[in-house]
Structure 1
Amino acid sequence: MSDFLTEIDKYLDDTMSSEEKKAFEDRLRTDSFLAEELKLQKDIRLIYEDKEWIQGNKSVLRSKHAKELNSFLKSEEAFSLQKTIKEVILEQQDTNSRNRTFYFVGIAAVLVVLIVISFFINSENKYDQLYSQYIQLDSLPSLVTRGEQDTQLIIKGQMYFEDQKYEEAIRAFSEYRNSITSKSIEPSVYVYTGISYIELRDFENALKQFELLSKSNTLHSKKANWYRAMVYLKQNNDKELRNTLQLILSNVENYNFQEALELVNKIDK
């Protein structure tokens, strides 16, 4: 390795004597090349040293994703990646070619970013997969057997819903609700409308539908917390998801108690 790179390593590792450190820092004030190389080596270390990743605002480490990422960075997979990056960088340092060093630093940085992005995508996919598993669309009550005057609007809404035309379904169900008194509204319409909003990622309006369901004064009102949990699951809102699941688990008689218990166990894995 070139002498100046050896010096930089010793400086960053704090293994210089006080005299060597003073002389090195004096050179930094007048040698722009050495100063730039020192900055470059600091950036390189940011790529493969775990301890540097957590400097700055420590509050970000309190989030669930940050804790998961920190755990990943300590894993064998991350360690192997960092070791490979370090070996490539050190090999290129021996060539004493700054351009080649910059090139491989760029590659290393891209690799790290891709790994981190992949980690978060996989984490989010976990919640999406659980949502698909637990939304239980197959168990939704059919609305097409109703014999009321407004049944055509309900049938239209359900057909749109099953065709995944969620905006049209919402409009049909809204027209249905506006055509009759609130006391006679079929409560399952709130479920269909709420899920339609979830699929459109309009979580605020989805929650409003399930709030109406909870106030419907029917047996279906007991399902409201479960569907609220589905909103938070799709939203990847871990805090509210856990809070809502705990409400369901507070009483074994609550709707989908067993499913809520299973879901808690799966999101904890």
Structure 2
Amino acid sequence: MKDYPIEIDDYLSGTMSASEKKAFEERVANDSVLAEELKLQKDMQTIYEDQEWLQGDTEALQTEKATQLKSFYESKEATNIKSAIQEVIAENRSESKNKTFWFIGIAASIAVLITVSLFVFKDNNYDELYASYIHMDEIPSLVTRGEDANKLLENAQLLFEDKKYKEATESFAAYHAKETAIDPLSYIYSGIAYIELNKFDEAIAQFELLADSNTLQSKKANWYKALVFLKQKNKAKLKDILQMIILNKNNYKYKEAQELLEEIN
């Protein structure tokens, strides 16, 4: 009887005859161990083949963890790791006729890649970093006193302070739609509210508007984008934006950007 790894490889590579394939599939249906090993190797193929990430599986892509891992596997460091692993696999495959050793090499390689990805995305560490760098007390209040106070803006900030972030974003959106002279601080509050709702694209859009505001506040946009990527645990984009910030010592949060880069490297 063939070893499981060899049979599985023959099955997935399409080298089995029709009768062998039928017999194998019948065994899979009745052998939980064989079924589990088949699933494992299929999963490994998904990672190593040059395909779209979980192509067509839109529900899986909607999870935060899938987004994080997708970002990691598309990053330069993951590409380098995968290239090195594939070179070893190709060498072992050509030099050895024993498919069992090739399978073991694949399994070891995927274990390394998974270990690295888990190391990169330590959820608690990223959450703690975000909490340590988001300082709402640094943002001036939008609330003003007197007859000229903008009630929409005041209401939006009050909702934000009550952590009613969904209602706050709706109120900020109404303010942005109605007014022509917009307080740029409102983009910061609105963007952070979207971060707290895990609506990262919407948060980035607010900070893009901040960057385009041509005000003193616009210089803060890159730092707040960095906070989006930190909360999102998107290491590749976080590193890119932090490296932009540290290009100039006069950039907003230059020192903090240096510290954060050291933390995530």
TM-score norm. by structure 2 comes to: 0.58
For 1:143 and 1:125, locate their aligned partners in 2 and report how far apart those are by CA, in whole Å: 32
Tell whether 2:249 aligns with 1:252: yes
Alignment of 1:165-180 (within 5 A): 165-180=164-179
Residue 241 of structure 1: aligned partner: 238
Deviation of 1:175 (Å): 3.6
Structure 2 contact 184–210 (Cα < 8 Å) conserved: yes
Alignment of 1:54-203 (within 5 A): 56-57=48-49, 64=72, 67=78, 119=118, 123-145=122-144, 147=146, 149-182=148-181, 185-203=182-200
Higher Cα radius of gyration: 1
Residue 95 of structure 1: aligned partner: none
Residues 124 and 54 of structure 1, relative CA distance in 2, 3 Å threshold: farther
For 2:212 and 2:122, locate their aligned partners in 1 and report how far apart those are by CA, in whole Å: 34
Residue 27 of structure 2: aligned partner: 36
TM-score norm. by structure 1 comes to: 0.57
SS in 2 for 1:246: helix
Unaligned runs of 5+ in 2: 8-15, 54-68, 83-110
Residues 53 and 181 of structure 1, relative CA distance in 2, 3 Å threshold: closer
Deviation of 1:241 (Å): 1.8
For 2:130 and 2:156, locate their aligned partners in 1 and report how far apart those are by CA, in whole Å: 22
Deviation of 1:259 (Å): 1.1
**Higher normalized contact order (CA 8 Å, seq sep 6+, divided by chain length):** 2
For 1:179 and 1:45, locate their aligned partners in 2 and report how far apart those are by CA, in whole Å: 60
Residue 89 of structure 1: aligned partner: none
Structure 1 contact 46–53 (Cα < 8 Å) conserved: no
For 2:247 and 2:258, locate their aligned partners in 1 and report how far apart those are by CA, in whole Å: 11
Structure 1 contact 228–244 (Cα < 8 Å) conserved: yes
For 2:207 and 2:37, locate their aligned partners in 1 and report how far apart those are by CA, in whole Å: 50
Aligned length: 204
Structure 1 contact 150–176 (Cα < 8 Å) conserved: no
For 1:63 and 1:190, locate their aligned partners in 2 and report how far apart those are by CA, in whole Å: 26
Unaligned runs of 5+ in 1: 1-6, 14-24, 72-111
For 2:70 and 2:198, locate their aligned partners in 1 and report how far apart those are by CA, in whole Å: 26
